[in-house]
Amino acid sequence: MATPRERRATPRGAALELAVLGLLLDSPMHGYELRKQLIALLGWGRVLSYGTLYPCLKSLVRKGFIVADEDLDVDVRGRRNRIVYRLTAEGKEHFAQVMEDSGPASWDDESFGIRFAFFARTSARTRVRILEGRRSRLEERLDNVRKAAQRSRERVDSYTLELQRHGLESVEREVRWLSDLIDRERSGLLDRAPSDQSDPDVPGGHDNAADDDGVDDSTGRRPTTD
């Protein structure tokens, strides 16, 4: 039976679980390799200890989302075989469900990076909703920071002002990046939209019959009739 802590995972814990499921979707892994992949996924600023990883793995095993098996292909003298973690059918289904969720939790600071890393496994409409939600969240934060900076400008030193400026520029840069991604995603949706009036085999979508002026392309002359 799940404990209350497992039933209500913290945003960081939920993001880590999602990252584990996403990586195991590609192939089973040992804990050591999984930790390396997670650190690369989370970025250089995040340190992931085994003390954080293994409780997460045990929780996923209890939930039935992954299984832990001994790797019989690895023979370690005087020690038991290493454990390899594999995704279950329930884990695949849970991962797919979470990846289609576009609510506020999908664009918060803890989850957005993980969700974005697995965008290739997310529908285009869901990607756009998450990107728009993230941009809206940052624009709101940007407005609050600007107002706070204006109120405190006369009471802080030049170093604090410089730090505030750096923070503002970082958020503004991410907002521009998100806007560019949203435009590209929407363009992709339009490019894939079916058209009943175009012929996919003809450049520009024109019908051959519509352009037939009776001229023989090989001679540049109209055929004569007897």
Average pLDDT, the chain: 79
Instruction: Say which residue, 91 or 153, is predicted with more confidence.
Output: 91
**Residue range 163-212, pLDDT digits in tens:** 888 888 999 999 999 999 999 999 885 445 444 444 444 333 444 444 44
Question: Looking at the domain that runs over 9-115, which CATH code has it been given?
Answer: 1.10.10.10
pLDDT of residue 57: 95
pLDDT per position as a tens digit, 62-118: 999 999 988 766 544 444 558 899 999 999 999 999 999 999 999 999 899 999 999
The structural domains of the chain, with segments of one domain joined by +, span 9-115, 123-191
Q: What is the C-alpha to C-alpha distance for residues 156 and 159, in angstroms, rounded to an integer?
A: 8
Q: HEC profile for 21-69?
A: HHHHHHCCEEHHHHHHHHHHHHCCCCCCCHHHHHHHHHHHHHHCCEEEE
pLDDT higher for 74 or 45? 45
The model's pTM is 0.72
Distances (CA, A) of 160 to 7, 132, 148, 170: 41, 31, 12, 15
